[in-house]
Amino acid sequence: MAEVFAALADPTRRRILDALAAHGEATATVLAAELPVSRQAIVKHLGVLDRAGLVAGHREGREARYRVIPERLGVTARWMDGLAAAWDSRLSTIKRLAEGE
């Protein structure tokens, strides 16, 4: 989880994920043409996203093409949903106690 949250904390990496989701898959060159960062920066960001399990790349000729791995985001979303439900329960208990029920 920590790697996923660290990867998602950067707005450029979130924009890369959005662009990949829109394209299905893309190269670092295509992503750099759409975002206000260099190709080399895109490659570094893709490395962080890859280590976090959020994207996967494969070689096609001389280029590497990347795609989003939605399953990892789903696992993170389910964990966050569980955490939110636990806090909702705690807050309901506090409210009930505060109102003297």
Cα 60 from Cα 98, distance rounded (Å): 62
Ranges in the chain, pLDDT < 70: 101
Q: What is the pLDDT of residue 15?
A: 96
Q: Are 55 and 49 in contact (CB under 8 A)?
A: yes
Q: What is the pLDDT of residue 25?
A: 94
Q: What is the pLDDT of residue 68?
A: 95
Q: Are 1 and 8 in contact (CB under 8 A)?
A: no
Q: What is the pLDDT of residue 60?
A: 87
Q: Which domain CATH number covers 77?
A: 1.10.10.10
State the total domains in the chain. 1
Q: What is the pLDDT of residue 50?
A: 95
Q: Please give the residue range of the domain that contains residue 89.
A: 2-98
